[in-house]
Structure 1
Amino acid sequence: MNLELGGKVALVTGSSSGIGLAIARQLAEEGCQVVLNGRDPERLRAAQAQLPGAQSVLADVREPAACQAMIAEVIAVHGRLDILVCNVGSGASVPPGQEHPSEWQRVLDINLHSTTNAVWAATDALAASKGNVICISSICGIEALGCPVPYAAAKAALESYVRNGARAFGRQGVRINSIAPGNILFEGSVWDRKLKQDRGAVESMLARDVALGCLGTPGDVARLAAYLASPLAAFITGATYVVDGGQLRS
């Protein structure tokens, strides 16, 4: 399928590995000029080496000023921004019941403010190109699955941000959607670690809780992201798409 993405400029935050890198690779394969982002210079250089022609911008998107500088650099190099994929996030936190204010702030910064900061900084550029935003969320923001409470709350807030922001962005010609992955396996992921620790427990969970009985791949998320970023999805905004192999029950 031709997604009509040739020549579009796409910035993917948190794209030095895992889902973010897979999305960047997919967009590059569809003809986009891709800009990678991360906080670790070595990992970012390694990711860029995998995508010939890609640009990379070192920036901590938890910081508003860093987001402004990142967008300015993209515009300076490419002259425009068509697609913003907000992928920064982490489910690591304290066990339920042990939350404290500093942990709430840390998790919200990673899983919510990293997106709102980047979108805020990019809004004018996206309005100029009639572009779109894709936020990578989690099924933990949709249903109570026993994950850390601050993470679940942050992702639920992200889903609300997408739904409620769609009208305001739409008036500027900008679309915004989210993807809520379930259990995605890649090197260094939590599921990579769990498989190495106790494969039997993971396989039991999959058989019990996931309709398709398997873990997903970054490519499963990346292919959907490319479609949502494309003109073929021109009438889709304010929506969440679940990629979880049938784990959610509601």
Structure 2
Amino acid sequence: MIDLKGKSALITGSSKGIGLAIARALHQAGCHVLLNGRTEAPLKQACDSLGAERCSYVVGDVSDPAEAQRIADAARALFGSLDILVCNVGSGASVPPGQETAAEWQRVFATNLWSTTNMVESCRDLITRQTGSILCISSICGNETIPGAPVTYSTAKAALNAFVKGIARPLGKDGIRINAIAPGNILFDGSVWQRKLDENEEAVDQMLQKDVALARLGTPEEIANLTLWLTSDQATFATGQIWTLDGGQTRR
């Protein structure tokens, strides 16, 4: 049983899906969680679902450096210091391969890379030395070529993986760990896989049988369980790594 009593965590993009599942897992382990998103109503609803005790939220867009700093300042005012930072903001929605534009490259990188680099930079002096941990949500699209995946998204996630590996040594000098999880196909309400199931459940099942060893979609809770371990004292020798959790889809 992982015990995070007395710990503090900031989870970006945590009003639903994977981010909310991570917040719930950390909260259930005793952590005081600070949720973040761009819209107040779903954040309040998410916080209420966890329970008012040890749950707060801050509205803001982490892809904007000034907003990221304001969010970090809110965490400082609430906690004094930060034990865990989870960078979950991201989206695979983009144009089909071969239809990229300069504006689309910028938008997708802002969502999937700057959202993380901004928060790491803003929170670096806030994260507890020697025991602090950062966890980033990447994607298997950043690990290898996934047929049909947007090139913009795959490139941004590959860059995120490179950032995690590259920044691990500078952060390690302060005893701060950083890792990433690269999920495969995760199903939750409002997810791309929910939409695909609604459109053509047979096609999704055929893809799973062909490409995924476990022949099923993953759940946000499974991502949250690995996050809980990686950000706890049970994983104190783990840093600078990309942890793939995809049911055996990727081959590398």
TM class, shorter-chain normalised?
A: over 0.9
Query: Cα 1:87–1:102, aligned 2, differ >3 Å: closer, same or farther?
Result: same
The counterpart of 1:229, out of the listed 228, 231, 234, is 231
Structure 2 partner of 1:22: 21
CA distance in structure 1 between the aligned counterparts of 2:3 and 2:192, rounded to whole angstroms: 34
Given residue 247 of structure 2, which amino acid in structure 1 is its aligned partner? G
CA deviations over 1:119-171 (Å, ceiling 9, x no partner) = 10000011547411000000000010020001000000000000111000000
Given that 2:130 and 2:174 are in contact with CA atoms closer than 8 Å, whether structure 1 keeps it comes out as no
What is residue 187 of structure 2 aligned with on the other side? 185
Shift of 1:215: 0.3
Residue 49 of structure 1 is matched in structure 2 by 48
Counterpart AA for 2:27 = A
Q: How many Å separate the matches in 1 of 2:16 and 2:128?
A: 29
Aligned with 1:162 (options 161, 164, 178): 164
Letter in 2 for 1:218: P
Distance 2:14 2:78 in 1: 19
Residue 5 of structure 1: SS of its match in structure 2? coil
Structure 1 counterpart of 2:37, one-letter code: G
Aligned to 2:152, what secondary structure does the other structure show?
helix
Deviation at 1:41, TM superposition (A): 1.2
Contact 1:130 1:172 in 2 (8 A): no
Structure 2 counterpart of 1:138 = 139
Distance of 2:130 and 2:23 partners within structure 1: 19
Residue 90 of structure 1: aligned partner? 91
User: Is residue 61 of structure 1 aligned with residue 55 of structure 2?
Assistant: no
Work out whether 1:106 is the aligned partner of 2:107. Answer: yes
Percent of paired sites with the same residue: 54
Paired letter, 2:41: E
Asked if the contact 1:99–1:150 (Cα under 8 Å) also holds between the matched residues in 2, the reply is yes
CA contact (8 A) 2:183 2:246 kept: yes
| C-alpha separation in 1, matches of 2:242 and 2:78 | 32
One-letter amino acid of the structure 2 residue matched with residue 45 of structure 1: K
Unaligned runs of 5+ in 2: none
Structure 1, residues 205-233: CA drift from partner, whole Å, max 9, x if none? 00000000000000000000000000110
1:166-216: CA deviation from partner (whole Å, max 9, x where unpaired): 000000111000000000000000000000110000000000000000000
Question: What SS class does the counterpart of residue 177 from structure 1 fall into?
Answer: strand
1:11 equivalent to 2:20? Answer no
**Is 1:242 the equivalent of 2:244?**
yes
Give the Cα separation in 1 of the matches to 2:11 and 2:202.
35
**Residue 209 of structure 1 contacts residue 247 of structure 1 at CA under 8 Å; is this kept in 2?**
yes
Of stretches 71-80 and 54-63 in structure 1, the one that deviates more from structure 2 is: 71-80
**What letter corresponds to residue 18 of structure 1 in structure 2?**
G
Mean Cα deviation higher: 83-92 or 4-13: 4-13
Q: Distance in 2 between matches of 1:163 and 1:71?
A: 23
Q: TM-score, normalised by structure 1?
A: 0.98
Of 31-40 and 68-77, more deviation after overlay is shown by: 68-77
Match of 1:126, SS? coil
